[in-house]
Chains A and B, each alone.
Chain A
């Protein structure tokens, strides 16, 4: 008597049939885990914004202590406007950066494709799009928004520099690519040793 040789597909089917039942709560728990992850991501970005604001306030306080006409230590001439105005400009810039970040997060949560694209510049016209978005959410006119890749990091980090019409301040935002998503990293430059290892478990959709 001959028997048909077994095949792998059939054996795998048998193994699948013998698997234990999946807990009914797995979907709810996954949703809770996903919500917590989004919340943590939001908190991290907001913490970055708070840090940037504190740094700006500290630097503004330092400038306020330097008399008009004095060497400010950075080789630049004193600004024509008063120190208090300089501090105000820095403060405004950070606040608008915070608003920009909030707008980005809002766009993410609302699945606002245009908003995400504007602040996660992967297209060639990203500068224009970012400019429009900054203008819309920043509460004042953005003169220019420059988008540049930082080549040392293999294109995984992009820097967006925003200058304002009528203001001497400039905002700088770093967009860090993680997998297929972009995240705003404010107030700090990437580690010179390279970005943290990208999470490659999430495929491009």
Chain B
């Protein structure tokens, strides 16, 4: 199997996972698609340039999350075009998705990345720290801050971590 075939196979297999991650990080169709494309482009270069990438899905996801955080450092501006106002009444079932959307948008990029990796992918604090090149203590602090923010928007009964309940 050639390099191009190898990349195509891997990329098509992991693109949905990358898209889910990007969507949770940005909730923006164009931004998430661009993140997926850039992460895959870097995976392509890595596969062509190195002996092997041990775990392509994990590699690509790490690249994607770091790119997302890095965009803040590069001061890329991003406008969210939406036809609905995200601020909704706390506890409104009909607007649950929007409330979560609002809660996520209120987080810093680092906090949001921690939240997604910790609570959507169930990674340990140690694993998140490795992925974001930070310390476990920083991950715990960010996770706690993100959870507090989510509860503030979605209500005190909202369960952030089933493992803790």
Please give the residue numbers on chain A whose beta carbons come within 8 Å of chain B beta carbons, in ascending order: 5-9, 11-12, 14-16, 18-20, 22-23, 26-27, 29-31, 33-35, 37-38, 108-109, 111, 113, 116, 180-181, 200-203, 205
Contact = CB atoms under 8 A, between A and B. Distances in A.
Contacts of A113: 51
Contact of B66 (A12, A31, A116, A200): A200
A30 B46 CA distance: 13
Contacts of A201: 42, 63, 66-67, 70
Contact of B50 (A15, A23, A116): A116
Given A22-B15, A27-B15, A201-B67, A8 B42 contact: no
The 8 tightest CB contacts between A and B, nearest first, are: A34-B44, A30-B40, A33-B41, A7-B159, A201-B66, A205-B53, A19-B23, A113-B51
B77 interface: no
B24 A30 contact: no
Contacts of B147: 8
B11 A27 contact: yes
Given A203-B131, A205-B53, 10 more contacts: A7-B160, A8-B119, A14-B96, A22-B19, A22-B33, A26-B15, A26-B37, A27-B8, A37-B45, A181-B49
25 contacts: A6-B96, A8-B147, A8-B159, A8-B161, A19-B19, A19-B23, A22-B15, A22-B33, A22-B36, A23-B33, A27-B8, A30-B11, A31-B8, A34-B40, A34-B41, A34-B44, A34-B45, A37-B45, A113-B51, A180-B50, A200-B133, A201-B42, A202-B46, A202-B66, A203-B63
A128 B84 CA distance: 65
A34 B8 CA distance: 12
B75 to A, nearest CB: 14
B50 A5 contact: no
Given A5-B157, A27-B8, A203-B59, A16 B51 contact: no
B96 A16 contact: no
Contact of A20 (B29, B97, B119): B29
Majority SS of interface residues in chain B?
helix
Majority SS of interface residues in chain A?
helix
B128 interface: no
B70 to A, nearest CB: 5
Nearest to B133: A200
B129 to A, nearest CB: 13
B46 to A, nearest CB: 7
Contacts of B27: 15
A35 B162 CA distance: 44
B11 to A, nearest CB: 4
